[in-house]
Structure 1
Amino acid sequence: MAKITGLGGVFYVAADPEATRAWYREKLGIDGEYGPQLNWSEETGDKPYSLISHFKDDQYIKPGKGGFMINLRVDDLDGFVALLKSRDVDVLDSVDEGYGKFAWVLDPNGVKIELWEQAEAPE
């Protein structure tokens, strides 16, 4: 059965994306072609995981601000989209970009969720 396999990324609006990427590269030591990239193959811990946590209010998030999207990895996008539709989830759009397949849905709060089936490993 098609299923979510992990967190593909978190995307948010920044006034200066290049300066933000530079901060992540310079301050946190993470870099990548499209922004800070964390490679699961480099994880040495036992049973690593990603977490999506929900809060009743924004106290834990402050002083952070909104404007984000969650990307979730899937192992079979076509199968997962079919599963979502069978569960009456409105799929906004889907596309094959060559380097990966994508589809988008909204969660109950209106947060955009991007589903991603990776086609190839990044260089």
Structure 2
Amino acid sequence: MRTLNDIYQCIQCKAVVAHGNRHCRGCGVRFTAADIDHMKDNIQSVVGALPWNLRDVYRCVHCQEHVAIKDAYCRGCGDEICDNERQLMKLRMDEIAKENTPALIGLLTFVLLVILALVAM
């Protein structure tokens, strides 16, 4: 999991990016080693970076890097994310959720039974 120490701002568009990203998620620029050195310690808003990890639940259709649905470009391969690709990413997430629903129901049932057992003691 990334920490706030790993989060920077793109030198071109000021989008929030993370150490290790090869491309900016906002403008698609490819980062050089000099760019990454320049980005260190340039984060302006810690509060703005807090929800950053929570949005990255989708995967790029080209390279499978985690991306947010609002990203304009993949931070892994630099591909521009078009509307059709966004729809495909959402569809894949829906399929994954459907596959995991029985396991989630089982886990929630188990947790509920444990809580009821503890309360009954």
Q: TM-score range by the shorter chain?
A: under 0.3
Q: 1 or 2, which has the higher strand percentage?
A: 1
Q: Which has the higher contact order (CA 8 A, sep 6+)?
A: 1
Q: Which has the larger radius of gyration?
A: 2
TM-score, normalised on structure 1? 0.25
TM-score, normalised on structure 2? 0.25
